[in-house]
Chains A and B, each alone.
Chain A
Amino acid sequence: MPELIMDRVTKQFKNKIAVDKVSLHLKEGVYGFLGANGAGKTTLLRMLCGVLRPTSGDIFCNGVPIRVLDGEYRCMLGYLPQDFGYYPDFTAKRYLEYLAACKAVPKEISREKVQEVLELVGLKNAQKQKIRTFSGGMIRRLGIAQALLNEPEILILDEPTSGLDPKERIRFRNIISALSKSRIVILSTHIVSDVEFIADHILLMKDGSIIEQGSPRDVTESVKGRVWEYLADETEAQRLNASFAVSNLRNEGDRIYLRLVSDTCPCEGAVPAQPGLEDVYMYYFEEASDNVGNLERRII
């Protein structure tokens, strides 16, 4: 069973530090990286895949630096990049057979494996279609299929569900859950529900650093006592929205229901609520001032 260790890994692009001295110990299970755009998630995953070289620090797989393992490490790897590449003139089947060959999957079993992954992602009927005719969701599913071709022990998925409809997203979550035994699955997303259901371990990233990590329950507990519910009138709702992070807001008759994230009780009458992962996200990533425009639009 693989074990990945990141030892004070830093990546600097000119003057910008994208990943700052991140140390992690990853074993079997699903790891969900959550963070706003530009938090450094993609850079971190690219380093884990060996696409980018860390400026300092090292990444070890089973105690050996991945740059030393080289091809042996890549054999263990399945990767879905954020900007998934494909050859539009290839059919889905040919594309997967090509990648299977590049992933050193023996020829005798690659055809069978291609059919298996096509079935898994629901593209079996479209296998003879050229990829250029695929919708965004189909291309994403093809991306997931290629990542699974070599039965990877380390599966790294960058924004895997972007472009998928809700049904496809649920299907994807189930596939990942089924695959998570005996392997490391690393997901990066800013869609909270993606990791909420399937991640064993959640890592929150901000400005290149891991600011919080733990099981979904642990991470959620970290904001316990900081989530509040309140029914306000329109003027008060606007005031609260401008001052606090709001994780939910809806009209209830002539009043407005607000779910607020705040270290202290935001106003008299607000009652503590059971936190969820979205509240955690709001607590760590949302700037209160960003909400003003949203509120005005929603009330109108």
Chain B
Amino acid sequence: MNRQTGGEFWRFPLDERRKSESLRRIRQEGENKQIRQCPSLAANILSQLRFQTWKYWTVQGAILLAAMALVLYLGNKGADGEEAIAVCAVFLVFAGNISLSGLGRLFSRNMAELEQTLYLNLKQMVCIQMLFGGVADLLVLGIVVGIAGGQNDAGTGAYLLYMLVPFLWSDTLYLYMLTAFHSLQQGYRQLTAGIVCGILALFPMFLEDAYEAVYLPVWGALAAAGCVLLAAEVFHMLGKIERGEGLCLN
């Protein structure tokens, strides 16, 4: 013990080793008691994957198998005309619609308002679900365009455009419906979007020469417009979530 001159108190020499050990234990206890953390993006993605329903995985698996079966069937049948393009386009529209079902679930059953108040909030969940949907769509698109497109007279590039146009426009419509008709039951919303877009995807078949090479610039312009519209709709939807007015039922 040291006596400090001038001051009327005793100073005990500190055992630095014991002090740091005690502080370490206090910190450890504090960390053990911590009820919250800041999970990384990867951890958030994994947690969203973990809580997808078995129905979701079954449906995604079924779509992939159906895509394989469809292109194999068309290949075996030698169907390389406009009908084959239209069938694949309608299939992709439905596949795109279904792959976004995880997104629709977030807006179903009044969940949106509650989800917006969570650490991983609705806006972030929407982005993660769009990522899942995008990956699933790319797989299906890859199968359809990669296999069926190679066999088609139009060529892979043109075939990709024929698939992309209805696909992009239908996704735009579905995203719009998510926030515009959020009170509508998820199944009805999805079915309505699917039917409307499916019919629209068949429409070019009724136009003479719509799939001719001469109209490729038109398809290109429509695809570009679809990309722009889809991006605009995503920003519009995220903005709507941020403002919150579209999330609450009353």
Q: Is the CB of A85 within 8 A of B47?
A: no
**B117, CB-defined interface residue at 8 Å:** yes
Most B-side CB within 10 Å, residue of A49, A97, A99, A102 = A102
- Interface residue count on the A side (C-beta < 8 Å): 38
Stretch of B5-13, B22-30, B193-201, B238-246 that contacts chain A = B238-246
* Complex Cα gap A114–B34 (Å): 16
Stretch of A26-34, A71-79, A208-216, A255-263 that contacts chain B = A71-79
> Which chain A positions have C-beta within 8 A of B47?
101-102
Stretch of A50-58, A172-180, A222-230, A270-278 that contacts chain B = A50-58
Q: How far is the CB of B227 from chain A (nearest CB, A)?
A: 29
Q: Is the CB of A104 within 8 A of B245?
A: no
- Interface residue count on the B side (C-beta < 8 Å): 35
* Complex Cα gap A256–B243 (Å): 52
**B189, CB-defined interface residue at 8 Å:** no
**B50, CB-defined interface residue at 8 Å:** yes
> Which chain B positions have C-beta within 8 A of A113?
35
Most B-side CB within 10 Å, residue of A51, A83, A88 = A51
> Which chain B positions have C-beta within 8 A of A97?
51
Q: Is the CB of B117 within 8 A of A85?
A: no
* Complex Cα gap A87–B108 (Å): 8
**A288, CB-defined interface residue at 8 Å:** no
> Which chain A positions have C-beta within 8 A of B245?
13, 52
* Complex Cα gap A180–B36 (Å): 20
Known: A77-B117, A85-B111, A150-B35. A51 touches B51 (CB 8 A): no
- Since A86-B111, A105-B36 are in contact, a sample of 13 more A-B pairs with Cβ atoms closer than 8 Å, ordered by chain A residue number, is A51-B116, A51-B248, A52-B245, A74-B118, A74-B119, A74-B121, A79-B114, A81-B110, A82-B250, A83-B250, A89-B55, A104-B119, A106-B34
Q: Is the CB of A101 within 8 A of B117?
A: no
* Complex Cα gap A104–B44 (Å): 9
Could you list some 6 contacts between A and B, CB below 8 A? Answer: A46-B113, A46-B248, A79-B114, A85-B114, A90-B53, A98-B51
Chain A positions within 8 Å of B, measured between CB atoms, are 13, 42, 46, 49-53, 71, 74-75, 77, 79, 81-90, 94, 97-99, 101-106, 109, 113, 146, 150-151
* Complex Cα gap A104–B38 (Å): 6
Output the nearest chain A residue to B243 by Cβ-Cβ distance.
A53
**B233, CB-defined interface residue at 8 Å:** no
Main secondary structure of the interface of B (DSSP, over half): loop
> In B104-138, which residues have CB < 8 Å from any A CB?
105, 108-121, 125
Known: A51-B247, A150-B35. A87 touches B118 (CB 8 A): no
**B14, CB-defined interface residue at 8 Å:** no
* Complex Cα gap A299–B38 (Å): 61
**B42, CB-defined interface residue at 8 Å:** no
Q: Is the CB of A85 within 8 A of B110?
A: yes
* Complex Cα gap A113–B55 (Å): 27
Output the nearest chain B residue to A49 by Cβ-Cβ distance.
B117
Q: Is the CB of B53 within 8 A of A71?
A: no
Of B35, B53, B118, which one neighbours A102 at CB under 8 angstroms? B118
**B81, CB-defined interface residue at 8 Å:** no
> Which chain A positions have C-beta within 8 A of B112?
85
**B39, CB-defined interface residue at 8 Å:** yes
**B4, CB-defined interface residue at 8 Å:** no
Known: A75-B119, A102-B119. A86 touches B248 (CB 8 A): no
Q: Is the CB of A104 within 8 A of B37?
A: yes
Of B34, B38, B51, B108, which one neighbours A101 at CB under 8 angstroms? B51
Of B37, B118, B248, which one neighbours A106 at CB under 8 angstroms? B37
Q: How far is the CB of B225 from chain A (nearest CB, A)?
A: 31
Q: Is the CB of B118 within 8 A of A50?
A: no
For the complex of A and B, list the 8 residue pairs with the smallest distance between their C-beta atoms, beginning with the closest: A85-B111, A85-B110, A104-B119, A101-B47, A102-B118, A52-B244, A79-B117, A83-B110
* Complex Cα gap A270–B248 (Å): 47
Q: Is the CB of B113 within 8 A of A103?
A: no
* Complex Cα gap A92–B49 (Å): 19
Q: Is the CB of B109 within 8 A of A74?
A: no
* Complex Cα gap A53–B113 (Å): 13
Output the nearest chain B residue to A99 by Cβ-Cβ distance.
B118
* Complex Cα gap A17–B238 (Å): 25
* Complex Cα gap A246–B163 (Å): 69
> Which chain A positions have C-beta within 8 A of B110?
81, 83-85
**B1, CB-defined interface residue at 8 Å:** no
* Complex Cα gap A89–B249 (Å): 21
* Complex Cα gap A146–B114 (Å): 10
